[in-house]
Structure 1
Amino acid sequence: MGTCREEETTLKCVWVHGPIIVGAGPSGLAASACLADKGVPSLLLEKSNCIASLWQYKTYDRLTLHLPKQFCELPLMGFPADFPKYPSKEQFVSYMESYASRYSIEPRFGQSVESAEFDPSCGFWRVRTQDMKYLSRWIIIATGENAEPVVPDMQGMDKFHGPVIHTSVYKSGAEFRNQNVLVVGCGNSGMEVCLDLCSHNASPHMVVRNTVHVLPREMFGYSTFGVAMALLKWFPLRLVDKFLLLVANFTFGNTERLGLRRPKTGPIELKNVTGKTPVLDVGALSQIKTGKIKVMEGVREITRRGAKFIDGQEKEFDSIIFATGYKSNVPSWLKSDFFTEQGMPKTPFPNGWKGDNGLYSVGFTRRGLLGTTSDAIKIAKDIADQHMAFKDAKITTYNAHIVLQKKS
């Protein structure tokens, strides 16, 4: 890593010999480790003060991995053998810290990327943070699909008398004991928050605005996701989807009578096309059946004391929790047409990992950590090949220079 001078700026400018990786979550760590394994240095920029800040700061206490650990491993290093089938968030964080240590990954923390742009005049990427400028031949976007919380703008929200939070700041139902709580969103987070609220004697009302697939987390003693992955090796996707729905209907009965309408598209196909993940039930369905979790239709407006619903009901609430997910923030700082306005690669999986002029993306596959692993391995090989060619070209140029000197 070296320095360069640039006119009309007070920012220090740093030349990076390997790629710049933006984001020190699982995707950034995976890319850095795969590059290190091939002898390629990299610089990892992270706006927070730790690795995996989403996991460390913006997840609730009861969170565990929804998939078995073998589907959530980063490349080159598995989970410790003594970890449970579904590791807790603390265990997952400790695994990532061990991973970073093994591959000597030392991110530059407190570096929030404000802009990144390819400069065709010199063939390098210019990456600017609040106090630095970096130059590199390559940039890897690893900020992921879940960079920023999504909070919908609801009519009357500013009138509500109580706290309004996103699940990114929710920790435990202990803070909502004996309260009536409106939970907006019915994905995995919404279901688990409702379940957690029930365990602390709160009364959650879950808003289900759209259709949703709910599947058992396990079937026949095996992970539902694992069974689906195994079947997809032998059978067409739509046939596997039909099998999953058959098992779900046998396990739960008709969820539509509970207010949970299923999409017409099957769960795996829907996930692949839209990124919408099916809910893997860990106990919320039974609480819905007993009435401890009340399912509500869409909200018409928020009132000072509660909410009015589109079916005409009006209820009072003490708090509102938005379990409305996250979004990519790439369009706000990356100057490139490689990504859509929603911050996802325009080219779908499995070819969305590479753009032009040394631009790469990892962790935007809508396929979780399995997709991250696939991206990281491809990116590392591609850059390693270029890196070696670049070094060979420098050696050839140096040798030619020596020969010319001797002749003269």
Structure 2
Amino acid sequence: MQVFKIVPTIQQYDWGKIGTSSKVAVFAQSAGISDFRVDESKPYAELWMGTHLKSPSLVLVSGETLASYLAKNQNLIGEKVARKFATKDGNLPFLFKVLAIEKALSIQSHPDKATAEKLHAQQPDIYNDSNHKPEMALAITPFTALCGFLPLVHIATYIKTVPELAALIPQAILENFLRVSPTTDPNAPAAKQALRDVFSAVMTTPAQLFTAQLSRLIERFESRSVQVEEESVRELVLCLNRQFPNDIGTFCSFLLNYIKLSPGEAIFLGAGEPHAYISGDIIECMANSDNVIRAGLTPKLRDIPNLVHTLTYAASQASRHVVNPLPFSASSASTLYNPPIPEFSVVRTTLTPGQYEEHRAIDGPSITIVAGGKGTLQWASGSLSVVTGEVIFIGAVTAIDLFATGDEKLEIYRAFVEA
């Protein structure tokens, strides 16, 4: 089989959207998951599509794991990709997901490869694989996130404007940051160290101190006693505090970029970039890993020392993280999101009823999810009818023709790797 349906898996984390308000739940209804029924009282956070050992996808017709099938059929991975990523065990270099976010995810980052190997060796029950996890988030509904450190001068403005934030930072660290931030190249070691000192001071503030300051901040924001510089994050601060009362992570609203994306817009986060997804439904693709270093806005284990130690402290506008789509085909129906890492790219295809689109043969394997409508996939030796929520594996070096056969637009997301 060159093209075949696979069965994804569901993760029901507390932060997921509830019942059929979640695209994860909606997609799962058609995805072939055994005995699946939507419970309108439960959250549906993530849909996993891939070969990660924690929650592997299955081949629909046989029930075996996708990794097991690919290990026996290496031609589906492709010679170049198999050689570059050593995929004899059938594991794909990427993990593809849908996320439905009702409640903010944690303040977090992902380790680079060397750090992942070290953390996995030291704490395999927490860091359950040895791979890095660069990732891309592509909005399919309006999406908000905290994304990378703000420019230094913006953080300095908040420190001057928000007394509750300034109160968390020792005077010597505060004065050094205010001295360095307006005059130093943000990539200079002195600037990075100053930012690290501020972030570390905030995130390690004793609970008695930060909860008192957070209480003052919330009272002030609720009474609308807000400076002009604070207005853009007022609702965010109040929202995070409602979701996670008395949590130090709320203060990251003044340290990280707050970004709002429309459907079709995407961001990329490399190793050591702090972030937190706040709300919305997204397509997410990453290297094949589940390693997360958390520090706030979470009931899960917080590893603040490792987070502080492994961040890049690259301060900039959020635009640095934006992935601008490129043409993928001769028509405008398919656009390519190509982040600066080798493990994956994603193509978004949108077809109006009756429209047709060709996808060139790709050297490596790909996984496709139908996010809306219904259609037909055709290739040299066969065809497959698909509907919203179904997930399809496409083997290497397989040209695909897409047809929108329903009354609604056909929307497809395809993750792939090429060597």
Does the TM-score normalized on the shorter chain lie above 0.5?
no
Q: Which has the higher strand share?
A: 2
The structure that is helix-richer by fraction is 1
